[in-house]
A and B are shown apart, each in its own frame.
Chain A
């Protein structure tokens, strides 16, 4: 058996190599096209994953990643006994959940309302305006918020003044941070997010409405009995995606708006990482926090994808 088996497998091996050589000779062009992208992914996204091991090492800039000593789970123990980190985890979940509860229904409502507008010009003008903030930089959003909520000069306090209410310095009040953050998020994204739902509404079979009209249904009834049930799959998919991204709080806006006075309600995991890592230079500890965040996010995304597959037999990617 033994000597006989070796010869054909050797021949097959050679055939395979020859086939590969022929393949690359004929099709080298697609590999040339692929290469820059793959190299980019390796250099900019996979190499940092290798660097993630500093979460388990006592990282020193001078020694480099590989030569820094292993410390096991020490950084994670430090993190989970650090009240600031625990607060950041709590705030991340809070802010995400509140944005979901208050922010998620708004684009659906908007899409339903846009659908009921018959004047095309009015509809298109309104849409053009409500999509606009999506294209505005976070820094500008923050600039607008800071100006509008300023204690002396801001329009918000001016209006409160008309009703005899004393000026409030909103941006140093912890209890005001979340409403302002979530409100500006809705202002910026609700309009643009309605596009997905409008597209779903556009896909509803028109004959459903026609027969409803014959039966004498009102617009209100048609919205509840036809439109909303028809776009339910889209609503559920979008909800699942949002749950999958729960750990992704818009931390750029938080960095621009928060102050030490509001850390207690505003500080989230990513802003904690930014301060500990990039501002205080505790790279290993911050990388550990980032690792924790990425693992939780990964689990959530996997759950979301499984749910979406089960629910609609469509995968999210």
Chain B
């Protein structure tokens, strides 16, 4: 396939046009990020006048100075870390043993338990009963509520269970001969063999926690507990709705747009740092989540 000699002149043209189109798509994907970064480093006046296109105009750190001086910004940043790591850890602690149990043929009622998990993919009670339930459990406005209420989802469990089921019995037999119990078999045999699947669901958990916003917005009213995404939302709303604030902004070196852009940049940075490391894994890992044969 890679042998260029096999390509006719028509093919070469085809390949070039194709490369150009991919290039255009890639640049259009990247451009909004560059634009936002440029706005965040521009002066409020330039951003308001719409003169920022590709690079910062009147380079200034005023928007960042404003954002980083807000204690609530740092607080919500910290909260996001708590929700991401606490939530992911909780998910793994429930999902891994649960998926392992579901994969055991000797589990009584195995079909029933599997159906009970899978059914939630097809039918759910919806937003209102879910919210009322959280309220009745007394979990509104708590860290624990956010962490526990989104700990499991059927998709991740089934993905991991399928992976466990695909591991041949012979792998665990040696451990069983040595008298290992179920916890030891899971810990010493299944978890090491399932690294790609566990890495995949860990990634899914981290991404959904880091980005999660709707339920955090709905379940948390205490500003001290909100994660970064909700803080960003509040800031955009407050800055653009508050007439008084907008008029004071006329003299300020930043504007609604530059402050918003600065918060966006700050919240993307951790994603950009981790992204290259995990990027290699998901192209393999995502396949596990595909269609089950």
Contact = CB atoms under 8 A, between A and B. Distances in A.
B64 to A, nearest CB: 16
A98 interface: no
A116 B292 contact: no
B122 A298 contact: yes
Contacts of A126: 22-23, 25-26
Given A31-B101, A187-B28, A196-B286, A153 B48 contact: yes
A199 interface: yes
Contacts of A38: 98, 113, 116
A287 B264 contact: no
Interface of A is mostly: helix
A152 B18 contact: no
A153 B257 contact: yes
Nearest to B7: A219
Nearest to B80: A137
Given A187-B32, A287-B129, A139 B229 contact: yes
Contacts of A122: 19, 22
A283 interface: yes
B158 to A, nearest CB: 6
Contacts of A32: 97
A157 B107 contact: no
A117 interface: yes
Given A37-B157, A48-B132, A314 B50 contact: no
Nearest to A28: B182
B250 interface: no
A260 to B, nearest CB: 13
B4 A118 contact: yes
Given A136-B271, A137-B210, A191-B29, A286 B36 contact: no
A108 B283 CA distance: 16
B174 interface: no
Given A51-B129, A219-B11, A316-B292, A153 B22 contact: no
Interface residues of B, number: 106
B146 interface: no
A135 B29 CA distance: 13
A128 B281 CA distance: 12
Interface stretch (A5-13, A86-94, A140-148, A172-180): A140-148
A255 B147 CA distance: 23
Given A195-B283, A255-B214, A273-B126, A153 B255 contact: yes
A156 B40 CA distance: 17
A120 B11 CA distance: 18
A150 interface: yes
Contacts of A1: none
A195 to B, nearest CB: 5
Nearest to B6: A213
Interface string B264-278: 100110010001100
B15 A273 contact: no
Contact of B126 (A132, A136, A148, A290): A290
A137 B213 contact: yes
A147 B148 CA distance: 34
Contacts of B236: 142-143, 146
Contact of A317 (B107, B158, B260): B158
Interface string B80-96: 00000000000001110
B211 to A, nearest CB: 4
Interface in B199-249: 207, 210-214, 218, 229-230, 232-233, 236, 240
A289 B6 CA distance: 60
Q: For A51, A128, A154, A293, which residue has the most chain B Cβ atoms within 10 angstroms?
A: A51
Contact of B52 (A155, A195, A290): A155
Given A33-B97, A153-B47, A187-B28, A140 B122 contact: no
Give me the 4 closest cross-chain CB pairs, A-B, nearest first: A290-B126, A37-B98, A33-B97, A48-B125
6 contacts: A51-B133, A116-B18, A137-B229, A155-B52, A218-B14, A298-B123
